[in-house]
């Protein structure tokens, strides 16, 4: 059994049981953004998390074991991505990425924002002009260190 097979099983069970990713996260006690990424194949689950997801979605022990394996990360099969929602995020980084980089360096110095020590949140904001998406990236600053 491979990770894409388990992801397909998860999506089938989610649909069959009428569950949202948010409901699955609430029932397993995990952050909804992190768990959604994990269920889509981007993070390994702990044994406890995998068991909880397997119980909730009626997955096999083999599937739970696969959920605990460290996956190859990254979901782009081609660049630029073709899914419109993902493409718009990619486009936003193409346009604003250099400015974000310049401002990170200006505010913090020479370094990067970690995507390993990282949190991400997505929220809906209702405004008079219609709904808006708020995405918060919260990464630890890691300064470049040269030499030993």
- How far is Cα 107 from Cα 103, in angstroms, rounded to an integer? 6
- Tens of pLDDT, residues 13-48: 999 999 999 999 999 999 999 999 999 999 999 999
| Residue numbers annotated as active site | 88, 91, 114
Query: DSSP letter string over 77-107?
Result: SSSS--SHHHHHHHHHHHHHHHHHHHHHHHH
Q: Write b or e for each residue in 19-37: b if 16 or more Cβ atoms lie within 10 A of its Cβ, otherwise e.
A: eebeebbeebebebbbbbb
Give pTM, 2 decimals.
0.85
- Tens of pLDDT, residues 116-147: 999 999 999 999 999 999 999 999 999 999 88
């Amino acid at each position: 059994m491979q990770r894409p097979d388990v992801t397909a099983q998860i999506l089938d069970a989610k649909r069959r049981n009428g569950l949202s990713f948010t409901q699955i996260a609430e029932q397993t006690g995990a952050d909804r953004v992190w768990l959604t990424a994990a269920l889509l194949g981007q993070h390994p689950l702990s044994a406890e998390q995998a068991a909880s997801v397997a119980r909730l979605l009626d997955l096999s022990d083999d599937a739970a074991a696969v959920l605990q394996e460290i996956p190859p990360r990254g979901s782009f099969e081609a660049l630029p991505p073709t899914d419109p929602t993902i493409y718009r995020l990619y486009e936003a980084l193409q346009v604003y990425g250099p400015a974000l980089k310049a401002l990170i360096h200006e505010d913090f110095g020479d370094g990067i924002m970690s995507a390993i020590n990282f949190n991400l949140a997505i929220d809906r904001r209702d405004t008079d002009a219609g709904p808006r998406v708020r995405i918060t990236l919260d990464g630890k600053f890691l300064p470049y260190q040269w030499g030993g």
